[in-house]
Amino acid sequence: MSDLTSLISTARQQSLGDLPRRTSRNAPDRVALVDGPTTMTYVELAACVDRTAAALAAEGLVKGDRVALLSHNCWQFAVLDFATARLGLVLVPVNFMLGAHEIAFILAKAGVKAFVVEDALVPTADEAVAESGLEVPVRAAIGPRGADVSGTGWPDAQAWFDFDGTPPGVLVADDDPVRMMFTSGTESRPKGALLSSRSLLWQYASCVIDGEMSGDDVELHTLPMYHCAQLDCFLGPDVYLGATSVILPGPDPGAVLAAIAEHQVTKYFAPPTVWIGLLRHPDFDSTDLSSLRKGYYGAAAMPVEVLRELQERLPSIRLWNFYGQTEMAPLATILKPHEQLAYAGSAGRASVNVETRIVDDADQDVPAGTVGEIVHRSPHATLGYYEDEAKTAEAFRNGWFHSGDLGYVDETGHLYVVDRKKDMIKTGGENVASREVEEAIYELEGVAEVAVFGVSHPRWIEAVAAVVVPKEGASLDPEQVREHARSVLAGYKAPKYVVVADSLPKNPSGKILKRELRQEHADLAAGDSGA
């Protein structure tokens, strides 16, 4: 690259890591982050991002290196998101509900050079690193809300946030990867979807425009930041605009209600399960929620009766349904406030920077009302799956990103998602690959066949269920199956319901008919209290 070309590229650069600095120049004294006792203005956030980027460079990390982050929500998570991008490092957020074996796979697959871990999760991280076979030369522990990490045996990441130095100038191009998001997808093993600044910033623009976001927002962040919905539909756009982000470690209903009142929160995102939890909390009606003007949900359709109840009990709130997936960074379509009841259950229409179609197996458009695969074309889309050319080629065949979801559009162009093409379950907003659960159950002695699928649940919207067929002469107990699954999988992946059966329904070619199983066992959770 010539000197002039480099200068022009530097002047035109807008990467994810540039956002705090740029926003700080427009809104220097506006509050950027509130996390317990910690409050940062945008000037302070930008300075902290710079110091942290300088420290990471001093550790020997260079553009393209992968940095894994295992933590509940905290201000440190937000700083690391932007600081890694500033250097062109690839941040790998890790689900804190995973076990050591599952984390080890992610570490090894990504080939991480650095691992940053919340103090309470260090024992799990130690086990995962040992199993991964990696050295992971750069490690640090973070203590959310001022916790002392000296007992972890890991260096304190606070030294990075306080570092005295200036980050090196790194040219981060629009399509250089800055994030690797592992998605359960529909496979037995997670895939690493690579996202670039181009993917993320175009997606931020879509969220801002169609989600009617502004710099005056005060947003409460309670869903996990390791998930792209909270991190990139909400936290990222807030920093992009100069809005205020109030961070909680999780979506405890009582804490959520108290925080809305205390901080006069105007904007909140949660899956239907959390909105339902808020409505059922005894403090809901006695808490001042008058500041809340914008509500967002995703991961599942909001039940119509819950929509009506929200509008009755929060008459000033306007609701949006965001639909998408990790590979779309993640927004694809939006159902807007005025459409909520008229098109209840719909995922809306393509957002401003997305083109969406419904196609058959030959990738030809299908008529309105006909179920087909949902495909997208957008700058939001992933760069592909890390070190998996075959899966990338399959996903992008014919120049469209194939979501793997099945749906249809009505005569007005509104999208309805009716199934997952390859049987992925969404429980409480988390993706669970049915095949991964099936393979875990097959490890149990005495299992001849198993089918895992989702059933409707009053709290989790969808719950993991399994029908198991014992081997001839073997005896299986449902609790035995559940205990085995819990021993090898994250808790949310283990089946809530297990049915022992003599056989599974199959078509003439031998394929298990999960649609029939869903219909037959649709009422498994009917007597559940919602726990």
In the predicted structure, residue 529 carries a pLDDT above the cut 70: no
- For 232-273, the pLDDT digits (tens) are 999 999 999 999 999 999 999 999 999 999 999 999 999 887
CA separation for the pair 384, 252 (Å, rounded): 35
Phi, psi (5° rounding) for residue 464? -80, 130
CA separation for the pair 422, 366 (Å, rounded): 20
In the predicted structure, residue 398 carries a pLDDT above the cut 90: yes
- For 80-131, the pLDDT digits (tens) are 999 999 999 999 999 999 999 999 999 999 999 999 999 999 999 999 999 9
CATH superfamily ID and name for 431-520: ANL, C-terminal domain (3.30.300.30)
Query: Is 511 or 47 the better-scoring residue by pLDDT?
Result: 47
- What residues does 90 pair with on adjacent strands? 66
Token digits of residue 384: 């592909």
Token digits of residue 400: 């469209």
The pLDDT assigned to 422 comes to 63
Distance, C-alpha 16 to centroid of its chain: 18
Taking the complete model, does pTM exceed 0.95, yes or no?
no
DSSP string covering 229-261, please?
A: IIIIIIIHHHHHHT-EEEE-SS--HHHHHHHHH
Which single residue is written with the structure tokens 């299986």? 476
What secondary structure letter does DSSP report for 139?
A: E
The pLDDT assigned to 143 comes to 95
Length of the chain measured in residues: 531
Residue 179 DSSP SS3 = strand
- For 273-320, the pLDDT digits (tens) are 789 889 999 999 999 999 999 999 997 778 888 899 999 999 999 999
Contact 270, 227 (CB under 8 A): no
Report, as an integer, the average pLDDT of 380-401. Answer: 97
Phi, psi (5° rounding) for residue 325? -160, 165
Mode of pairing for the β-strands spanning 244-247 and 218-221: parallel
Half-sphere exposure of 21 (CA within 13 A, CB side): 15
Report, as an integer, the average pLDDT of 503-516. Answer: 74
CA separation for the pair 206, 229 (Å, rounded): 13
Contact 223, 270 (CB under 8 A): yes
Contacts of residue 393, defined as CB under 8 A and 6 or more positions apart, other chains included, come to: none
In the predicted structure, residue 187 carries a pLDDT above the cut 70: no
* Nearest partner of 530 among 461, 458, 463, judged by Cα: 458
Contacts of residue 509, defined as CB under 8 A and 6 or more positions apart, other chains included, come to: none
What radius of gyration do the chain's Cα atoms show?
23
Contacts of residue 338, defined as CB under 8 A and 6 or more positions apart, other chains included, come to: none
Query: What percent of the chain clears pLDDT 70, i.e. is strictly above it?
Result: 96
